[in-house]
A and B are shown apart, each in its own frame.
Chain A
Amino acid sequence: MARLLLHGVGSLLPRLSASHHLYTVTLLPHTLHRHFTYAATLLAERKYTEKHEWVAVEDNIGTIGITNYAQESLGDIVYAQLPEVDAEYEQMEECGALESVKAASELYSPVSGKVTAVNTAVEDQPSLINQSCYDEGWLFKLELTVPAEIDELMDEDAYKKFLKESEQ
């Protein structure tokens, strides 16, 4: 988590979960104030689906990725087929695929919306998804058309509980 926070400066911050106490450990004092400002205004909580996608919403723009559990079970990702900018999706509609060890896994949009950006870095280097699934390995951003859908998704605690239960 500490490594993740060091990467999470500036525009990446909104995708981090709100573990405020860690900031004091990982950031230098003179940057502290600025980042707490970010934390107050931009930091969004990640929500999770049962299919192991996460979404963090800020100003009605959702950033979407896959969870650590998903990247671990997929193995080394060799290709990321991401949606096109401006494409529109319904909640849980197929919007792309991730290929790993000869398997193409469908990717679903956890919320309804219109694609505003895709992470070209993971198109060039799909292993980023394995290395940093919550940060540099984000997949795409959506402008939400049904913001209330977010409330139906699991928060971090509920997702952890869900993982534990599905392992049994």
Chain B
Amino acid sequence: MMSLRNIANMSLNIPLRAVVGGTNLLGSGTNLSNTGIVGCATNVGTQDSSRIPFNRGVFISQSTNIYSNLAFEDWLYKNWSFEKRNVMFIWQNSPCVVIGRHQNPYVEANLQYLESAGVPVVRRNSGGGAVYHDEGNLNCTFFTTRDRYNRKENLEVICQALQEDFGIQAHVNHRDDIIIGQDFKVSGTAAKLGRQSAYHHCTLLVRTNKQQMKLALQGDKNIQSKATASIPALVMNLHDANEDISVQKLISSIGRKYLESSTKGIDASSQQMYQLSNGYTLINPTDDWFPGLAKVEAELSSYSWLHNKTPRFTITRPVTVPECVAHNTTVNIAVQVYHGKVEDVKIASQDVCPDVADLINEIGGALKGSQYTPAIFNDLASRMRLPQPLRNQRSVM
């Protein structure tokens, strides 16, 4: 028996040949021919299933770029058929915050801090809540047909790996979080369901910087919105449950457990060789390997995808009226934002003197339709000092 470390090393370092439908997917660990991939993507539906040597495959990303990895996930979901096989995609990212498809980045992430720290905030396509990723976190995506989509089954593979290879007792709760002990969350889940295909992905906290996580996820909770809310949980690193665990060991363990279910009935040594030669595929999420991926990546990293897909929200802030307009006056102003654009500006305070109210309403009217940024409140105050028509110019922002 090879040690786990060896399997992990082999799965990550040796040149692998993954054969899909008789087409060489991988020439070597780092060199993938375009034609192979295109061939795979387009003839999957028609190939003879008897020629496929496995019905489960593990893809391991060589990138730690959140945009590239999410783009690959989306690319695979849209371009592959999972009728004949299931795929598990294993990936990691440099520090970033990933929010759910229907969430509000202002609510979920500490945008000011993250910008200064150079940590990206990214909207993904699946539902669910906000998570923090770093090199101590491992992500697994389970691709199936829509009909075979089964989150509990996927999470059980992980729980089994944790228990059998690391002696960690873990269970899946009603929210499909993986829990250790009484109530410590080590994994969060989200999913995307389409007409033919579906994927379920989850995080696994192996040795994440919990302080950074806490800081990164401190968003503005005073925003009113119908957006999907994150549910805060007590979290724990797997490394605190077993110091022997590492991300590499976990990749190997989960990958093996996942592949095992497709090779039952084969003797142990051939099973291992079979998995090594057929099961693991190192992928490089680039447009060269997966034509069209760059376009998906550009969309995911665009300003409008992050901000303008945000569900309608209202943010209320006190605005100090300039002394030249009114003495010692502060007015609460509520700005309603839809898909990134200012939809309405309203006075949220009682008993505002009519002159000030008129002025605010006038400026508010001019701001409708502009791109929302938190600077709108300062902008509103400074416009009050300006004479008409300057204060109503739409181009000031």
Q: By the criterion CB–CB under 8 Å, are B101 and A124 in contact?
A: no
Q: By the criterion CB–CB under 8 Å, are A99 and B195 in contact?
A: no
Could you pull out 25 A-B pairs where Cβ atoms are within 8 angstroms?
A51-B195, A78-B228, A79-B102, A79-B127, A81-B311, A97-B102, A99-B127, A101-B175, A102-B100, A102-B126, A102-B127, A102-B129, A102-B190, A103-B190, A103-B193, A104-B101, A104-B127, A104-B192, A106-B192, A106-B193, A106-B194, A108-B195, A123-B226, A124-B226, A126-B226
Q: Enumerate B298-317 residues with CB–CB distance to A below 8 Å.
A: 311-312
Q: Is B376 an interface residue (CB 8 A)?
A: no
Q: Is B357 an interface residue (CB 8 A)?
A: no
The distance from the CB of B145 to the nearest CB of chain A, in whole angstroms, is 13
> Which residues of B are in contact with A by a Cβ distance under 8 Å?
100-102, 125-129, 175-176, 189-195, 200, 226-228, 311-312
The distance from the CB of B223 to the nearest CB of chain A, in whole angstroms, is 15
Given contacts A79-B228, A123-B226, contact A102 B175 (CB under 8 A): yes
> Which residues of A are in contact with B by a Cβ distance under 8 Å?
51, 78-79, 81, 92, 94, 97, 99-106, 108, 123-124, 126
Given contacts A51-B195, A92-B195, A108-B195, contact A99 B102 (CB under 8 A): yes
The distance from the CB of A107 to the nearest CB of chain B, in whole angstroms, is 10
Is chain B's binding surface mostly helix, strand, loop or mixed? loop
A123 to B313, CA, bound (A): 12
- The residue in chain B whose Cβ has the minimal distance to the Cβ of A120 is B312
Given contacts A103-B127, A103-B192, 4 further A-B contacts (CB under 8 A): A101-B175, A102-B176, A102-B190, A123-B312
A100 to B190, CA, bound (A): 10
- The residue in chain B whose Cβ has the minimal distance to the Cβ of A166 is B147
Q: Which residues of A contact B125 (CB under 8 A)?
A: 104
A117 to B192, CA, bound (A): 26
Q: Which of A51, A92, A97 contacts B101 (CB 8 A)?
A: A97
A33 to B202, CA, bound (A): 57
The distance from the CB of B299 to the nearest CB of chain A, in whole angstroms, is 14
Q: Which residues of B contact A94 (CB under 8 A)?
A: 194
Q: By the criterion CB–CB under 8 Å, are B102 and A104 in contact?
A: yes
Q: By the criterion CB–CB under 8 Å, are A102 and B195 in contact?
A: no
A51 to B194, CA, bound (A): 10
A74 to B148, CA, bound (A): 15
Q: Which residues of A contact B176 (CB under 8 A)?
A: 101-102
The distance from the CB of B224 to the nearest CB of chain A, in whole angstroms, is 12
Q: Which residues of A contact B227 (CB under 8 A)?
A: 79
A136 to B102, CA, bound (A): 22
- The residue in chain B whose Cβ has the minimal distance to the Cβ of A103 is B191
Q: By the criterion CB–CB under 8 Å, are B193 and A102 in contact?
A: no
Q: By the criterion CB–CB under 8 Å, are B193 and A104 in contact?
A: yes
Q: Which of B100, B193, B228 contacts A105 (CB 8 A)?
A: B193
The distance from the CB of B340 to the nearest CB of chain A, in whole angstroms, is 14
A102 to B155, CA, bound (A): 15
The distance from the CB of B273 to the nearest CB of chain A, in whole angstroms, is 37
The distance from the CB of B75 to the nearest CB of chain A, in whole angstroms, is 16
The distance from the CB of B320 to the nearest CB of chain A, in whole angstroms, is 33
The distance from the CB of A74 to the nearest CB of chain B, in whole angstroms, is 9
Identify the 4 closest CB pairs spanning chains A and B, nearest first.
A102-B128, A103-B191, A104-B127, A99-B127
Q: By the criterion CB–CB under 8 Å, are A106 and B195 in contact?
A: yes
The distance from the CB of A14 to the nearest CB of chain B, in whole angstroms, is 27
Q: By the criterion CB–CB under 8 Å, are A104 and B195 in contact?
A: no
- The residue in chain A whose Cβ has the minimal distance to the Cβ of B199 is A103
A38 to B346, CA, bound (A): 41
Q: By the criterion CB–CB under 8 Å, are A102 and B191 in contact?
A: yes
